[in-house]
Amino acid sequence: MTGPTRAAPLTASSPTSTPTAPAPTAALIIIGDEILTGKFADQNSPWLIDRCRTLGIELRRVVVIPDDIDLIAAEVSACSAAWDWVFTTGGVGPTHDDVTMAGVAQALGVPLERRAELVSVLKKKMGDKLNNDALRMAEVPVGSVLWPNDDVFFPQVVARNVVIFPGVPKLLHLKFNAVAHRFGGVPAHSLRLVTTRPESQIAAGLRTAQQRWPNVHIGSYPRFDVRPWTVIVILDGRDIDCLAACRDCLAEQLAGSLVQDPA
């Protein structure tokens, strides 16, 4: 790590400051006994967290729950009422433990129905291999909307504000990216400062800055795997002028302790 450095200025390509509408909010519900029992590592949460940040969606909750209809219903009901979007992954296949659709239907107070258009999609894909178990994948909560999806054969099922994705990471990526433009969002900008002062010495200044610029999210993250030990201060915001002003104020407070950002 090199010696002290000044905070980097905003680039000329940074967008001008304009008032922005509130970002859409979302909850992510990972469904699957296999995640909770350690049979498979959760790959979907990290990927979706990153995509939501890129899209400007404020992710307010991430939870992993088992393949249990009542638990799914309770979680979906609470999240659907609290936030703009609910993304679920897992539990949408043809086997006995694929109960996500039933849980979502219970949460919304509607029954399941077998959709003729989904039956047609499955017949076209599976031919004479289509059986009663496979037809379970055509059963969705009453009132669901089917978003067309050219990248995969099966349309995206959306029940009110609940977007029901498969749990297989590759399929999730394809399906989410195909409909991501529908979720709106205003991407946030980030600025960083790296200081050699401990958090206890910068806490008061961070608190004051947070009160002065409430629309800038300020976080501090100690790093003990480098020498000297450092604290990375990350500022997130959608108003670039406020973000820059907050950064400049903190840079002045931390003068003499700033070091080069390793990122």
Domain segments of the chain as ranges:
25-183, 189-253
The label of the residue with tokens 């054969």 reads 153
DSSP assignments along 178-212, one per residue: HHGGGG---PPEEEEEEESS-HHHHHHHHHHHHHH
Q: How far apart are the first and last CA of the chain?
A: 11
Instruction: Give the residues of the chain that fall short of pLDDT 50.
Output: 1-19
Strand 189-195 and strand 156-159: pairing?
A: unpaired
Does domain 189-253 fall into CATH 3.30.70.600?
yes
| pLDDT reported for residue 132 | 96
118: which strand partners? Answer: none
| pLDDT reported for residue 236 | 96
Which residues, including other chains, have CB under 8 Å from residue 171's CB and lie 6 or more apart? Answer: 152, 165
- 186: nearest Cα among 113, 228, 239: 239
Count of other CB atoms within 10 angstroms of residue 83: 18
How much is the pTM? Answer: 0.87
| pLDDT reported for residue 153 | 87
| pLDDT reported for residue 20 | 58
Task: Read off the tokens for 31.
Answer: 């469904």
Task: Read off the tokens for 120.
Answer: 């047609």
Does domain 25-183 fall into CATH 3.40.50.300?
no
